Amino acid sequence: MEKLLAVAVAVAVLAIAFAVAELRASDHARRSSEILGRRIGALTSRLADLDEERRAMETVLSSMEEGVVLVSPVGGIRLINAAAERHLGTRPVTLSGLTPLGLQAIVRGAVADGEMHSLELETGVPSRWLRASAIPVGEGSVLLVVRDVTEARRTESIRRDFVANASHELKTPAASIRAAAETLATSALDDPAVVPRFADQLEREAIRLSRIVSDLLDLSRLEGGSDLDEEVALDALLRDEAERFERAAAEGGIRLSIRSEPAGRVRGSSRDLSLLIRNLVDNAIRYTRPGGTVDVSVGPENGLVVLSVEDTGIGIPSRDLPRVFERFYRVDRARSRETGGTGLGLSIVKHVVENHGGTVQVRSELGRGTTFVVRLPVAQPA
């Protein structure tokens, strides 16, 4: 009996031990499962963060104007954004496929000496100018940044031309004024007959100089925009200017026709819109020979106010039509100087039209005349 009791106790102890062991194993598994779950959760969160960062990086790269190309140490293209593809005109997958070839050269140069390499090059049809910089970013990789600088180069070229042209245009009448003044100073007493002739020359050149300075000031002001705080009737402005135009046309032996219809009002500046009309009509009269005609009209068209100035003048060569609104552009330089033109009138017209949200078109045939058509939006009711 005692032996049986001892065996029963031993069996019970073993059963308890196994139960405890199973409980411990179960608790360990539970804790391990919890740890694993937390690690999986952390990993999932990190992957989500990385995916969000990737999307953010892609958004930034896709919105950049600069092209970005990341070249790996073995010459593969690891990353290229939309701007780079647009600038290069292709989507290369290796360095050897990167064009223009000058870009390959600066990437290899950056790998070779670990320094930044840059260049500007012309590419494509129509041609564009690209500025590229190859920057080493460690472990043999190179970041290539490409910018389109075509517009910047064009603007700089216009600025240089403007300074050169303005200097030349101001120098010419100034030199004439100086020469006439010196002649008067030395010859007035010995030869009084020359005084009226040189006095007239002084007056003409002074007026010309004053016009150039006035147009330069207007152009500078217009580049900063117009004050759009009035409601202006373009037909009324044309009627106000009509008498002066008629006098100028009569002096040049030109038949002038002016038609104006009520066409609604334009939101803008009466001062600047007067400049617009004056420059277009003066330009037409200046470049029309005696016996020719100039027709000016203002009227409505599909919710717009339309100003048309048509002449039978010397016309504009088709190759020069895209340039007529450039500063100091002249179809006939000799005739422009003879009639007192500054070469700034059409540039002023362009700025006034743009400041008022309108458009200007030009049609011309060499030797047969030119037509300018300006369309401006009608002011909307407040």
Cα 124 to Cα 133: distance, rounded to the nearest angstrom: 19
The answer to whether 274 and 236 have CB atoms below 8 angstroms apart is no
Whether the bond between 126 and the residue before it is cis, its omega within 30 degrees of 0, is yes
Number of domains in the chain: 4
333 and 248 belong to one structural domain? yes
Q: Which has the closest alpha carbon to 294: 302, 304, 305, 283? A: 283
Whether residues 212 and 122 share a domain: the answer is no
Give the residue numbers spanning the domain of 33. Answer: 1-63
Report yes or no: 276 and 349 within 8 Å, Cβ to Cβ. Answer: yes
**Both 382 and 234 in a single domain?**
yes
Show Cβ contacts of residue 20 under 8 Å, excluding neighbours closer than 6 positions: none
| Max CA distance (Å), the chain | 166
For residue 294, the domain's CATH number is: 3.30.565.10
- The number of helices, as runs of H, and strands, as runs of E, in the chain is 9, 12
Query: Taking the mean position of all CA atoms in its chain, how far away is CA 110?
Result: 32
pLDDT block averages, 10 residues each, the chain of length 382 = 43 47 54 57 60 59 78 90 88 90 92 92 87 89 91 79 72 80 75 78 82 84 85 90 88 92 88 93 92 93 92 89 81 53 84 93 91 91 64
Q: How many Å apart are CA 57 and CA 98, to the nearest integer?
A: 23
Q: Are 14 and 68 within one domain?
A: no
Boundary residue ending a domain (112, 133, 148)? 148
- DSSP for 166-230, written as a single string: HHHHHHHHHHHHHHHHHHHHHHTTT-TTHHHHHHHHHHHHHHHHHHHHHHHHHHHHHTT-----E
pLDDT value at residue 328: 76
Q: Which amino acid is at 261?
A: E
Domain with 168 in it: what CATH number? 1.10.287.130
Q: How far apart are CA 99 and CA 20, in angstroms?
A: 74
Same domain for 378 and 244:
yes
pLDDT at 39: 60
Joined together, the tokens standing for residue 190 give: 């010995």
Both 87 and 235 in one domain: the answer is no
pLDDT tens digits for range 287-342: 999 999 999 999 998 889 999 999 999 998 888 888 888 877 766 555 455 555 67
Check whether residue 251 and residue 356 sit in a common domain: yes
Residues 247 and 309 in one domain: yes
Helix (H, G, I), strand (E, B) or coil at 298: strand
Instruction: Record the tokens describing residue 179, joined without a space.
Output: 């020469």
Alpha-carbon distance of 326 to 345, in angstroms, equals 9
In terms of domains, do 210 and 246 share one? no
Write the DSSP symbol of residue 136. Answer: E
Tokens of 277: 């009309």
Read out DSSP for 10-53?
Answer: HHHHHHHHHHHHHHHHHHHHHHHHHHHHHHHHHHHHHHHHHHHH
Tokens of 131: 């500025």
Q: pTM for the whole thing? A: 0.59
Two tokens, residue 45: 């969160």
| Same domain for 353 and 267 | yes
Q: CA-CA distance, 370 to 287, in Å (whole number)?
A: 9
CB 267: neighbour CB atoms within 10 A?
A: 17
Point out the domain boundary residue: 148, 170, 189.
Answer: 148
Quote the CA–CA distance of 307 and 360 in Å, as a whole number: 9
All residues at 6 or more sequence positions from 155 whose CB lies less than 8 Å from its CB, including other chains: none
Both 277 and 374 in one domain: the answer is yes
Do 133 and 273 have their domain in common? no
Position 178 scores a pLDDT of 83
371, 364 Cβ separation under 8 angstroms: yes
Domain boundary among 132, 148, 164: 148
Instruction: Report the CATH number at residue 96.
Output: 3.30.450.20
135 in Cβ contact with 66 (< 8 Å): no
| For helices 270-286 and 345-355, angle between their N-to-C axes, nearest 10 degrees | 150
Q: Residue 357 and residue 184: Cα distance in Å, rounded?
A: 51
